[in-house]
Each structure stands twice: as structure tokens, then as C-alpha cells.
Amino acid sequence: MSRWFEKKQDGGSSTPAQVLTGPKAPRHSGGWAVLRRRLQAESGLRIIDVGYTSSSNINYLTGLGHSVFLADLVQDAWGGDWQRGTDADGNPAWDIEGYLGQTLSFRGRKFDVVLLWTALDYLPEPLLAPVVGHLLSAMNPGGQALAFFHTRTKGEETVHCRFHVTASDEVEFQLAQPFPIQRALTNRSIERLFAGWQGHQQFLAKDSVSEALFTV
């Protein structure tokens, strides 16, 4: 599921049904605080927002003069017919090109910001590196990606959530469809995964979720 929203559009009037439950809860985000300052200072940026449609995200970002491309990486991965039998080792084989072609079909467009949130922790392993590489190839110079990473795979904080931006240094999270967490990446694993990016800034977390802002 992917949709474009330009500044003139009302994101709340034409979006599909969402699988979100419960109230939104605030969470301080150092990565969002840094990125928000850029979004307020510049205009006309192209942004990928990963997750179920969020009218608050669309309204806030388009209100600043940016365009938003929605890509629900986790739902499309687990809800689509991308498994193609098994490989030589008996592991599930995935149609990686088919998945990328449907979920992240940009038609030559380049982007400035990606709001990845915690999506990478829930993707099937064969899709993880291809997704990060595909996003890198679609970024403009100076482009940035904000990603959250769970530091463990057990506990109530590992439930799958949708994140909503605010005009403050907080983001709001809300329970979403309960996909199981697949991994807790170490700092070294994260650095290897984003090795093609020029650099990153890390932010300390107090709730078993770390943050990083990657730059092309």
C-alpha cells in the first residue's frame, strides 16, 4: 500500500481503513527533535512515512510544504504473497524484487527524508538489507532516515506500533496490527546494515528503544 499526498490534499478524507487500536501515548524523541528543525527550516521536501496511514502525519508534514509518500513495509511484507517455497538451506525464499517493486515503487523519484520508525525490527530477514539498500538508492544527497530500534525482543514495549509526529519534541505511538518482532539489532549490526550511508547520529533511549538519524 503506497499513496502520495501533496500539500493541497486533505489526508483525512481519502485514506483507507486503518488497523490501529487504543489511544495515542507520547514519547520524547531526540531524533524527531533534530529532524523536525530541518523540516521547519526547509520546504518542498519529499518524505517517505512508513506505516499505516496517519492523518496527523500527513496534515503536519504537508502543512509545512512537504509531500508525503506512504509505504506500509511491514503490512505489505507479511500480508502479501511474497514467499516462494524454500531455498537450498530449507529457509523460506522470498520474492524480494516483487516486494520492492510493489511497496517501494518510486518511478524515479528521489526523497529527502524517510520516517522508518521501528519497521525494520518487524521485517522478514531476507527483506531487511534489500529494503535499506533500496531506500539508499532513492535518496537525494543530504537525505536522512529516522529509525527506531528495539534493544530486546521480549516485553510489552516490543508490540508493533504506529508513530505519529507532533509539533513538539514528542512523537505519539499507538498499538497497530500485532506483527511479531523479528530481531533486536545491535549497534554493530545497525552500522553494517547502513554501511552505505555517510554517517549517523544516535540518541539514548530510556524505554528499550534506541534511535538513529542516518544521513546520505
Q: Would you say residue 16 has pLDDT above 60?
A: no
Rg (CA), the chain: 16
Sketch the domain layout of the chain as residue ranges: 2-215
Amino acid code (one letter) for 163:
F
Within 64-178, where are the H helices? Answer: 73-79, 96-103, 125-137
Fold of the 2-215 domain: Rossmann fold (3.40.50)
pLDDT band at 20 (very low <50, low <70, confident <90, very high): confident
* Helix (H/G/I), strand (E/B), else coil: 187: helix
Q: Quick one: pLDDT band at residue 6, thresholds 50, 70, 90?
A: low
57 φ, ψ to 5°?
A: -65, -45
The reported pTM is 0.90
User: pLDDT tens digits, residue range 22-71?
Assistant: 899 999 999 999 999 999 999 999 999 999 999 999 999 999 999 999 99
Per-residue pLDDT at 5? 52
Query: For residue 149, what are the CA distances in angstroms to 47, 53, 122, 140?
Result: 20, 21, 10, 24
The helix/strand/coil state of 32 is helix
**DSSP summary character for residue 44:** S
DSSP 38: H
